[in-house]
Amino acid sequence: MVGLMDLDGALAQLGLDRTATVADARRAYRQALRRVHPDVQPPSARAPEGDATERIGELLAAMETIAAASGEDGSLPQRPPAAAVSVPSPTDTDTDTGAEGSSLAGGVDIGEDPTSASVELRHDPTGPPLFWQLHQAFDEIGDVTYADRNLGLLAGIVRQAGQSLQLAVQLSTDSGGAVTAAFTLEAIDAGEAPPIERIVQSLADHL
């Protein structure tokens, strides 16, 4: 299991320091992902499955930490944050009673970067755990390669138009109990990732 990282630890995972920007981190993340991901490595060069999964989880956690710490201009703070970022589990009170399940509470909110999005999820607390509903929906559209319920974090591979893409989903719960899912999409192989909205909507259709 990959724990929460501080910013310096996250940058070190990608071979960077605080002079880097988020754009630098994304480039380093893609390069590191290509080195370990079984979809882009010949069989003779592949790491054991467990080792590759753990390393992908480390890279994903590093990228999430860096993105969360960055400013609007993509720069990083020059001193350590006061505390590590924590993500509360959204599913502690859920029980499996066969209720209606989950759905989008509104539309898909696309940021300035078309490969990232956030959505508010409507969830019946008497239904199946939201994290596992999301896991099952992810499995319908791709392959989950990393899951950490404590962090509310899922990552895996989806394919679109012959391109392999890394999709990450992070759940967070605000003080009022509203659950938001933040999505990011990265190209694993050559080329840029396509806009994320279609993939997010496809996953939501399976909730």
Q: Are both 131 and 41 inside the same structural domain?
A: no
User: Which residues have CB under 8 Å from 1's CB, separation 6+?
Assistant: 57, 148, 150
Q: Are both 108 and 197 inside the same structural domain?
A: yes
For 144-181, the pLDDT digits (tens) are 888 888 888 888 889 888 888 889 998 888 888 888 88
DSSP string, 151-192: TTEEEEEEEETTEEEEEEEEEEE-TT--EEEEEEEEESSSSP
Q: Which domain holds residue 65?
A: 7-69
For the domain that residue 181 is a member of, what is the CATH number?
3.30.310.80
Percent of the chain with pLDDT over 70: 74
Span 69-77, mean pLDDT?
78
- Asked if residue 139 has pLDDT above 60, the reply is yes
CA-based end-to-end distance of the chain: 26
For the domain that residue 22 is a member of, what is the CATH number?
1.10.287.110
Whether 87 is in a domain gets the answer no
Residue 83: per-residue pLDDT: 35
Residue 111: per-residue pLDDT: 65
Q: How confident is the model at residue 98 (pLDDT cuts 50, 70, 90)?
A: very low
Q: 0.75 exceeded by the pTM?
A: no
Residue with the larger pLDDT of the pair 5 and 60: 60
Q: Do residues 138 and 203 lie in contact, with contact meaning Cβ atoms separated by under 8 Å?
A: yes
DSSP string, 43-74: GGGPPPHHHHHHHHHHHHHHHHHHHHH--TTS
Gap between the Cα atoms of 121 and 118, Å rounded? 10
Query: For the chain, how many structural domains are there in total?
Result: 2
Whether 85 is in a domain gets the answer no
For 9-51, the pLDDT digits (tens) are 888 888 888 888 888 888 888 888 878 766 655 665 555 666 7
Residue 161: per-residue pLDDT: 83
